[in-house]
Amino acid sequence: MSHHDNVNQHKESAGWLVRHRLIVPIAVYAGIFTLSMMVAFALAYNFHRTAQWFGALLVPLLILSVPTKLVVFGWSKQFRGAWRYVGLYDLIGVVRASLVGSFVFVLLYFVIENVWDRQFGHRLIDRDLGNQLRQAVFLLDWAATVGLVGICRICVRLYHEEVHAERFEKQSRALIIGAGDAGEALLREILRTSRERYDVVGFLDERPSQIHRTIHGVEVLGDLDDMKTVCERQRVDEILIALPKTTPREIRRVVEICEGNNLRFRIVPGIADLIDGRMQVSQLREVDIEDLLGRAPVELDVTSIAAQLSDKRILVTGAGGSIGSEMCRQIARFKPKKLILFEQAENNLFEIERELRSAFPGLRIVPYVGDICDAVRVNFVMECEQPAAVFHAAAHKHVPMMEINPGEAIKNNIVGTRTVADAAVENGVPKMVMISTDKAVNPTSVMGCSKRVAELYVQQISEKSSTQFVTVRFGNVLGSSGSVVPIFRRQIAAGGPVTVTHPEMMRFFMTIPEAAQLVLQAGVMGTGGEIFVLDMGDPIKIVDLARDMITLSGLRPEVDIEIQFTGPRPGEKLVEELAIAGENVTPTQHPKIGVWKHKPDDLERIRRGIERLVALADVDNPAAIQSQLRDVVPEYHEEEEFKQHRAEPEAVSPPAVASSAQPASGG
């Protein structure tokens, strides 16, 4: 028989089962109920006088009990249960249905016996034999029904798990971290559906009382301090983290202990996310670098944010970039009257518009393709839409790229911001929020200095207009386009090497959603002219980030994947700052947001400086542009280490790591 014939035969049999999906279980249950009554009689009479009671006692009772139980089991939807997924909840349902069915059967038996006796003068069952009917039969019949139905269901489940289970090419030896509810649920599901995929060698748990206990036959081998030893002794391939409230600190500890052991790490959702206590192995996901660097969820003043965004027209520039697109997602949650997207990159604009229309079908979205340097286009959009607030996320952000193309940083970051700000003033926009960067603090790069000039301009224009201009300054965001994380991922996938600019290079990191949420919060808090500084936590060494990502990939740093140091790139600092030296950042009512006390400046001085920069923007003279930037921003200087590095260009490898990637999205 050909493969095609086999497929057709399988389809035909499957189709027959679908068409008769109720007939088959009814027939099976009828057989089980018949067998349970026979077992009950056999036990009640100790297997004696079977020929005597079979015809006279058993058959009449079967005629009554089987239809009764079928009706009750059908009413309780027992025919629709999937036997291959049977669990404790299903067995409780069987007990309940059997109890109700047996009760109705016994009640009907005695009612019919009495009615038949009164109507016809004799009992349905011969009086002599009926007097010999032992009432233990009814109890034994109930117990046999529960037992036989449960055994049949469990056998079907075992068949699917042990005989007909999905086969994997290689079984992974797994160690579960956490011997609580989440760990137990995960192990139970692995034993049920994924035994061929995972061989669970044990648990680790921080609670001393759990050590050496067994869960479903699997022992708790020790605590987290024993992890490295256990992994080596048990030849562990994967670590499955099953803790109900896993913190980044706990995950980092696990990863650091296992560094160099060639392991993969997976994590399960919190126990609060599990439905009916049932874990699915498909819910396991790989531990990501964000799990190690993530922080506590942001607490927002939802009421004040909603007051400024709900039922309002909101414009986002750079809407297709990493931060701009996340700003759109966060703003959409507050149900604005209209969300206006302004983006230079057509494909990025198309993608974010499609995503937002799918996620927020009732939201009015208007996409505009445009350049923030095009004053006519920007004014046209603001005049047509009359936004209540503008979130300005469009910018050139890559430090080394802007060192090579300083004129483009001038045009996009300075002139573009000036264009958007002037249009906001001209069209009476109540508020504009500019997204800036930590590289604007004591800038050492053209990109950072250009953002600082933009900050100065919107600060000074805020004092002379009714529009409130607010600046929000923060560091690197994990996973943004061009940032270090996706670059490291590609380098690891290619087998290395992973390139880091300097062993002491450090950066602040936060997640994209956290950054976007804090921008919204700061934007609401601002009344005009402030520069808000977001709490970025502690700086992280880029080389440590690289080692963590290699370890999370199941590889060993410096063994499987080499780490190479390429030297600092143009404009880079070793450690970024979040406040200008000598100036203070004062706290606000939000614990993760501070406000920088800036010195007053002269708007006309800044305007003249910008005009001179514009005149130089298209001239291929980086030194002249840098000199003019220094006139506008006196604190702008080049890193001494970079000056030495630039004097010996042949010693430097080509730029490979965007360890200074910025939060602002491309516009």
Integer CA distances (angstroms), 78 to 27, 34, 62, in order: 13, 17, 20
Q: CA torsion 211→215→219→224, rounded to 10°?
A: -50
- E strand map for 508-664: 509-511, 531-534, 540-541, 563-565, 585-587, 593-596
Helix, strand, coil fractions of the chain, as percent rounded to 5: 50, 15, 35
Backbone angles phi, psi at 221, to 5 degrees: -85, -15
d(C-alpha 573, C-alpha 443), whole Å: 9
What does the alpha-carbon distance between residue 243 and residue 253 come to, in Å, rounded to a whole number? 13
Alpha-carbon distance of 103 to 445, in angstroms, equals 84
Pair type for strands 506-507 and 540-541:
antiparallel
DSSP per-residue string spanning 554-565? T--BTTTB-EEE
Alpha-carbon distance 117 to 515, whole Å? 83
Question: Which segments within 141-263 are labelled E, that is strand?
Answer: 172-177, 198-204, 214-215, 218-222, 238-241
Q: Report the SS3 class of residue 275.
A: strand
Q: What is the dihedral of CA 547, 549, 550, 555, to 10 degrees?
A: 130
Peptide bond into 568 cis (omega under 30): no
Question: Residue 600 in 3-state DSSP?
Answer: coil
Name the catalytic one among 439, 451, 573, 592. Answer: 439
Residue 474 CA to chain centroid, in angstroms? 23
Does the annotation count 439 as an active-site position? yes
Instruction: Say how far apart CA 110 and CA 455 lie, in whole Å.
Output: 91
- Reference 329, options 285, 420, 393, 419; nearest CA is 393
Residue (of 519, 418, 487, 448) closest to 662 by Cα position: 448
In whole angstroms, give the CA distance from residue 526 to residue 528. Answer: 6
Q: Give the catalytic positions in this structure.
A: 439
